Amino acid sequence: MSNWISQTFPNVIYQGWSGDTGWLTAITQTLFMTFWSAIFGGLLGLIFGFGLVVTSPRGITPNRTLFWIFDKIVSLFRAVPFIILLAFIAPVTKAIVGTQIGATAALVPLSLGVFPFYARQVQVALSEVDSGIVEAAQSVGASFSEIVFGVYLREGRSELIRVSTVTMISLIGLTAMAGAIGAGGLGNMAVAYGYNRFANDTTFVATLLVLILVLIVQVVGDYLAKHYNHK
């Protein structure tokens, strides 16, 4: 068995498990970029998503100006291809983290790249909350925060988990793209050490690991969405 592995995946074995170019480093970098980008981009997406819902003409605090601002910012960032966004905000990235290369530097474009997608997902999820429940809460004098946390988040939590799962999977794809141009991670492993060196076994294993990560996120997300679905 060991002979078959060494003959079938020679470059994978040569790459090693530890070290700057090892598999553990690549996996850790991908998880690092995914986690922190999900936190920063997710918070930004939640803010804009809620903003789009509550300031819409049918929202609890209609405001045409604020809705227009939220909508245009989200649409603008969503229209820019991620690979172009990486290059365009490079000076901003360097000003914030001090460098344009590496997993930490990738957090800035990753967060800005994922937030508009998530904002739209949040907008759709919260728009599906029963308007009758929202109106009932308003009729009994519920405050803005009580409606947001007690109605929107409570009634829409299952759908929010589902769209968060979709966003996380999309984010994993973005980390692979960022890794391919110098941010490290499994994307860098697949392209720099696999494709560019004609090491197909390295590309295959890196891709397989990304798919496993996506599968884990999907399974966990589906379980949580089902668990918190009170309908």
Per-residue pLDDT of the chain (231 residues; tens, 9 = 90+): 667 667 677 777 777 777 777 889 999 999 999 999 999 999 999 999 999 999 988 888 889 999 999 999 999 998 888 888 888 888 888 888 887 778 888 899 999 999 999 999 999 988 888 778 888 887 877 787 888 888 888 888 889 999 999 999 999 988 888 876 677 888 888 888 887 888 888 899 999 999 999 999 999 999 998 888 765
User: What's the pLDDT at 75?
Assistant: 93
Kind and range of the H or E element at 25? helix 23-54
Does the CA dihedral 169-170-171-176 come out positive or negative? positive
Looking at residue 165, its pLDDT comes to: 94
Domain ranges (residues) in the chain = 15-227
According to the model, what pLDDT value does residue 181 have?
Answer: 66
Closest CA to 114 of 70, 80, 88: 80
The pLDDT value given to residue 153:
83
pLDDT of residue 88: 85
Structural fold of domain 15-227: MetI-like fold (1.10.3720)
Q: For residue 127, what is the DSSP state?
A: H
Tokens matching residue 10: 């020679």
| Number of helical H runs and strand E runs in the chain | 12, 0
pTM as predicted: 0.88
DSSP-derived letter for residue 22 is: S
pLDDT of residue 176: 83
- Using CA atoms, how far apart are residues 193 and 61, in angstroms rounded to an integer? 53
CB 181, CB 86: distance < 8 Å:
yes
pLDDT computed for residue 180 by the predictor: 66
Beta strands in the chain (DSSP E): none
| CA–CA distance, 130 with 231 (Å, rounded to integer) | 12
Residues in the chain: 231
